[in-house]
Amino acid sequence: MVRSRTHALSRSGRQVALALLLASAAAAAEDAFTRFDRDGDGRVTKAELPQPAAFTRYDLDRDGVITRAEYERVSAPRGRARAPVDPGITAAEVAAIFPDPPPARPGELGIGRQVPDLPFTDLAGQAHRLSGAGGPHGLVIAVTSATCPLSKRYLPSLAALEADLRADGIGLILVNPLASETPAEIRTQLAGHAFTAPYVHDADRRLTTALGARTTTELFLLDRTRTLIYRGALDDQYDLARNLPEPRHPHLRRAVAALRRGEPPASPVTSAPGCELEPAPAAAAAAAGPVTYHRDVARILQQHCTSCHQAGGVAPFALDSLAAVRDRARVIRRVLEEGSMPPWFAAPPPEGTPSPWAHDRSLPARDRADLLAWIATPDRPAGDPADAPLPRPTRTGWEIGPPDLVVPLSRAYRIPAGGVLPYQFDVVTLALTEDQWVTAYELRPSARDVVHHVLVNVHPPGTSVRDHQEGATGYWALYVPGSGSHRYPAGFARRLPAGSRISFQIHYTPNGRAVSERLELGLVFARTPPRYEVRTLPIPDQDLRIPPGAAHHVETASRRLAHDLPVLSLMAHLHVRGKAFRFELLPPEGPAEVLLDLPAYDFNWQLRYDLRQPRLLPRGSTVRVTAVFDNSAGNPANPDPTKLVRWGPQTSDEMLIGYLEYFVPATARPAPTGD
C-alpha cells in the first residue's frame, strides 16, 4: 500500500507524484521478493532463504514455502492491513452469484404505490374491478400469453399457485396484454389447466399500462389496500437459457410469506424473463388526480422514511400520521431540497443507467415531486382515509430475528450528560467450543442516542488483542450512523473461530443526560457451511496532515492488488472535517474508473454501499481512495479551524479509511486478525 500527501501539489502534479510513488513502491516490493525467488516460480523455499528465523516469520501457514501474499502481509507497514490471500475466484463465478439483478430500484417501479381501482372484463364477459378481485389479504396479477414460450412453460406453475394463494387469502387474475392473440387461442391454451381465476384479454393494455408491466411472465403482488408489494418473477425455474427441475428461489412465495407477516419482502423486485412488452408511457404512471396524504404521501413516507421516523426509532420524531407530517412539512421540504434526506450520498449513475447499489436509498424523482407538490398545496389535502396504506408494525426486538448468540459488553459504561469521552475498548471472551459461520449480525445499544459508532474485531486463539486504530487494519462488524445490522447474501458468512475473543471499540457521545450503556452484539449462525467467507480490506492514510484553515485539502491512499479481488461492498470513514470521498480503480492499462463517488460526505450517515452484483477487481490494478477535508471556519462542524489536524481516534482528530468488503472460498485458510 502507498500513501501520499497531496495538499501542496496541483492536480496534474499530484497525479504525476502519485504515479511515481506507486511505481517506486511496487518496484521495491517486486525487487525484494524476486531477490529470494531465484527460480521465478512465485514461491520462496527454505533453500532460497536459508535463514530459519526469517523464513518462519514469513511462512505464515507453515507449509514450507513463502508466497508473495505472505511476503506482502508480513512486510506491510505498522498499522496497515495485510494483503488478502488469493481468492482464486473467476469473473464467470462472480457473474453467476447473482444472475438476475433487479432491473431498477423498487421505488422507480411503483413498489409501495397504490394501484388504481381499475375496471376490467374477463374472457367470459364478466365485469370486475381490482378492488373486488382480491382475497382478504391481497391479489396477484399474473401477466401471461398464449404464444410466448416462457409464458406457456410457466402456465402449469400458475395453475398450481392458484390453490396456494387461495389458502393464503390472496386472489389471482391472469392478464394477457397481446392484442394479436385471439380468444380462441387463449381458450385452447387454458383447456388443459383447471383455472378458476378470471382471465383478462387486456387488448387495450389498460391494466398492464397502469402496472408498467415489462414482460409476459411478470407478476404483481398487491396487499388488500392495492399497495404494490412485489413485482417480478414467480421463481427462477425457467428463462430463455434455463430449465430447472425445481425452482431454487421461489420469489413470489417468499413475498407472500412476508406480506402475511406484515413485513416488506426482502427482494421487492426481481427480473421476470419472458417476451418483452412495450414500456408504458411516463404519463401512465402519474397519480390519479391531485396528490393526497392517504393515497400518496403516507405510502412514500412508509417506503422511505418511517423505518427511522417512528416511535422508538432512531430519528428524532415520527412521520406516521397526518398531523405529524403537516407539522413537519417545512422541515421535509428543506431536507428534500438540500438532498440530506433520505440519507444517501452516492453520486447518481448516468441517466438511463440502473443504480449499481443493492439498497439505493435515494428518493425516486416521482416520489420527490409528489411530496413537494403536496407540501406546496395550501391545505395539504388528506384525501380519502379508505385509501390509506396498511400500517406497518412498530419494530421491536432484533432486526435480524432471534440471534443464536448474544454477546454483551463485559460491563456497563457510565456516560455523563456532557463533555467528551475517550474511546472505550472492551474485550469479551466467547465460550464457543467449535467454529461458527455468522450470516447476520446486529449491534444493539441500550442507549442508542449516546452511541455514535462501534468497531468490532475478532481475535482467534493465539493472536493479540489490541486497539486496532479504529479499523485501520480492518473490521469484523460495525455500527455506524445509518447502519447497525447486516445480513449477508445466501451462501456468504463471516468466520467466528472457536475460543475467540471479541473486541469492541466504542465512540460514546454525551447527549444531555447521564445514562448507563451496555450494548449487545447479536449473531445468527449458518445452518450449513457457506460457500464464501466475507473479509474486509481497509485502505487507510495514517499520515494525515491537514493545514489550519484549509477549506479544500486533498489526501489519498492506495493499494495495489496482487490478486483478482471479488468485492461485495464499499464504505468510507472520515470525521467531521470530511467533505467528499471517492474510490477509484486504476487498471494496469487504460483510464481510471470511479467505483464510488461521495461528493457530499456526511459524518452523521456513514453508509455501506453494497453492490447489486459483486465486482471482480483485476490483479495488478490499484484501488485509490481520495478524501477532501474542510478545516476552515466555514465548516460549522469543525471543532478547531486553527489546528493542524492529524490522524487520531477522537472526533476532533481525523481519519481516512476506505473499506472494501470482499470474499474468498470458505475453504481458504483463516484470516489473521485485522483481515
Give the C-alpha separation, 236 to 253, whole Å.
12
pTM (2 d.p.): 0.80
Tell whether the model's pLDDT for residue 29 goes beyond 90: no
- At position 510, the amino acid (one-letter code) is P
Instruction: Give me the long-range contacts of 36-40 (CB less than 8 A, separation at least 24).
Output: 36/66
Q: How far apart are CA 290 and CA 286, in angstroms?
A: 10
Is residue 281 scored above 70 in pLDDT? no
Residue pLDDT, tens place only, 519-534: 999 999 999 999 999 9
Residue 13, pLDDT score:
40
In degrees and rounded to multiples of 5, residue 372 shows phi and psi of -65, -35
**Alpha helix (H) residue ranges in 129-199:** 130-133, 149-167, 183-190
Mean pLDDT of the chain: 87
**DSSP bridge pairs for 228:** 222
Cell readout for 23 is 511505481
Rounded-to-integer distance, Cα 255 and Cα 166, Å: 15
What strand order describes the sheet that includes 451-459? 424-429, 501-508, 451-459, 477-479
Closest CA to 556 of 580, 534, 528, 535: 580
Q: Which domains does the chain possess?
A: 2-36+76-97+534-665 (2.60.120.230), 117-285 (3.40.30.10), 293-387 (no CATH), 405-530 (2.60.120.230)
| Close Cβ partners of 18 (under 8 Å, ≥ 6 residues apart) | 2, 4, 6, 556, 558, 624
Res. 312: pLDDT tops 90:
no
pLDDT score recorded for residue 671: 64
**pLDDT > 90? residue 437:** yes
Q: Which of 26-40, 262-276, 456-470, 479-493 has the weakest average pLDDT? A: 26-40
Residue with cell 502534479: 13
Mean pLDDT for 469-491 is: 82
Q: How confident is the model at residue 69 (pLDDT cuts 50, 70, 90)?
A: low
Q: Using an 8 Å Cβ cutoff, are 141 and 306 in contact?
A: no
pLDDT in tens, 118-132: 999 999 999 999 999
Mean pLDDT of 258-273: 92
CA dihedral (84, 86, 87, 89) positive or negative: positive
Q: Is the pLDDT of residue 6 over 80?
A: no
Please, what's the b/e burial string for 348-371 (b: 16 or more CB within 10 A of its CB; e: otherwise)? Answer: eeeeeeebbbbebbbbbebbbebb
Average pLDDT rounded to a whole number, residues 200-221: 95
Specify the pLDDT at position 78.
Answer: 43
Between CA 426 and CA 673 the distance in angstroms is: 16
Cell of 406: 448474544
Q: Report pLDDT for 471.
A: 65
Task: List pLDDT tens digits, range 560-616.
Answer: 999 999 999 999 999 999 999 999 999 988 899 999 999 999 988 889 999 999 999
Choose among 658, 442, 634: nearest CA to 541.
Answer: 658
- Specify the pLDDT at position 62: 75
- pLDDT by residue (tens digit) across 227-236? 999 999 999 9
- Condensed to tens digits (0 to 9), the pLDDT of residues 450-473 reads 998 898 999 888 877 865 555 677
